[in-house]
Amino acid sequence: MTQTENQTVWDETVLPFQLDRSDIRGRVTRLDGTLQQVLKQHAYPPEVSSLVAEAAAITVLVGQSIKLRWKLSLQIRGDGPIRIIATDYYGPTEDGQPARIRAYASFDKDALAASDGTPFQNIGKGMFAILIDQGEDMTPYQGITPLAGGSLSHCAETYFAQSEQLPTKFQITVAEATEPGQKPHWRAGGVMLQHLPKSSRPGTAAEPVRDDGLLAAEDLLTGDEGEDWTRALALLETVEATEMIGPLVTPPQLLTRLFHEEEPRTFDAQAITFGCTCGEEKVRQSLSIYSAKDISTMTTAEGRVTADCQFCGAHYDLDPKTLGFEAE
């Protein structure tokens, strides 16, 4: 198999795996064309693009690990120049279908240009949230933790330790790739490790030992479990950026290189594609909560009500009379 074929086969996928000897499960993902579709809708500066790419990789890793009937969302909100990063992962509705991912960011262009902070620092103080919506007749779940640790990956690890009491590690690489004959474009690769929950694990809830008062994975495991976890993390840290996003090493080969003594067991890969759920009917439903007076303030000089999808850039141009109201 050529380098190009390696890349094509494994791009836009999530590969589940398990390290049975250590009771650790994991996921490997690579995103290329999907990211291009997410990012091309907006003229994001590099700082924003890198965070959106990291958030998308985290979202597909987490989303594929949950048996979803509908949607998992990631929401990052801060008081810095980068105000919002939002992603949605839609699980496949039928076997063999791809899962769908969409994402967008909101930011203050001038404030970002004037900042000398890292991309993560430009989010400022705020919150990291994971929301799970399993569809009709199901109560949505929401878990929130503060932004901390210097990266979105670390925030996700803190979320699982704090909200789910599950030791979790994310290793994410994002970069703007340059290939012969192609324009520079963003690629993302990621590995997620998660210690399998033990329903019979004795003892009380873990207590945080970090200065910020938040739980970390190392607070949750002791004894042999802790040693197994520490060993797996040490192995994961040997991964190189080119192995994560380059065409030379496939995800199965990467797992063998990292964890060959653990004899990683892989499962069927899940295909990922860009997908947005917006539509004219949904726009009409969202506008239905407004009064006739409110609709009139949204009506343009040309007598139209317009709306743009933040995720895919779709533009909707509606006659206010068809919304049940007449512009005043």
pLDDT tens per residue, range 283-314: 787 777 777 777 877 788 888 888 878 888 88
CA distances for 59 relative to 11, 52, 84, 108, 138, angstroms: 16, 10, 15, 24, 21
d(CA 153, CA 159): 10
The model's pTM is 0.86
d(CA 72, CA 35): 18
Where would I find the H helices in 85-145?
109-114
CATH code for 8-199+212-274?
Answer: 3.55.30.10
73-112 pLDDT, tens per residue? 999 999 999 999 999 999 998 888 999 999 999 999 999 9
Q: Which residues pair with 27 in a beta bridge?
A: 16, 192
Task: Report the interhelical angle of 46-64 vs 152-159 (nearest 10°).
Answer: 30
pLDDT in tens, 115-163: 999 999 999 999 999 999 877 777 888 999 999 999 999 999 999 998 8
Separation of first and last alpha carbons in the chain? 66
**DSSP class of 94:** S
> Does residue 32 have a pLDDT over 80?
yes
- Rounded Cα distance between 217 and 207, Å, is 11
**10, 13, 37, 269 from 28: Cα distances, Å:** 10, 8, 20, 9
Q: Where are the domains of the chain?
A: 8-199+212-274, 281-323
What is the DSSP secondary-structure string of 196-263?
PP-TT--S------STTS---GGGT--HHHHHHHHHHHHHHTT--HHHHHSSSS-HHHHHHHHHGGG-
The band of 7, judged by pLDDT with boundaries at 50, 70 and 90, is low
